[in-house]
Amino acid sequence: MSTPTTFQRPAHWPRGFLIDAAIRCPSCRSHQSVMVRTDSWARFTAAGTDVCDGPDYTPESAAVCGNCHHTGQLTHFTDFPLHDRLPETAQFRVTWAADGHAPTSVWPDVAAADLDDAREIARSYWPGISAALTDDALTVTVEEPDVPGLIDAVRDELLWTLGPPTFTC
């Protein structure tokens, strides 16, 4: 009988909204100082301005890193593709370490709903994990394989959701 995997989110990982947004500079990898251009409505009053709604932004909104000054569209600062951009079926891959020497597990022809579930599992472990979407695959990469329990926790959840990978290379 195996013991349950224990995983503690490291103290240096971001919390709150930053987890949901999964925003990080593609150049310096900072998640602390990314700014996005927004649209909002403001009311002029005798006391100044009062923001009425917003801020509104899209994946195509302009973004800049306050740390290294890298600029681009917000979508390029996102470590996870949006759910509405996932294909109907695609290959799902997990590279177990970003160093290029770790094995990769592959699930071919994963349906959109399962692909989205797998993406959300991986996203819950951000920034220890990132994802990229290409034409034929959603590839998840373990960025911080040395975090205790991270690989075991991700593997266990993916096995529960997708079953065993078709192959590992």
5-63 residue pLDDT tens: 588 989 888 877 777 778 889 899 888 889 999 888 888 888 888 877 777 888 889 99
Percent of the chain residues topping a pLDDT of 70? 95
Note the pTM of the prediction, 2 decimals.
0.75
Contact 131, 79 (CB under 8 A): yes
Q: What is the pLDDT of residues 2-16, one digit of tens each?
A: 545 588 989 888 877
Q: Is the dihedral of CA 76, 72, 57, 9 positive or negative?
A: positive
Q: Is the dihedral of CA 16, 113, 164, 109 positive or negative?
A: negative
pLDDT at 125 over 50: yes
Question: What pLDDT is recorded for position 83?
Answer: 61
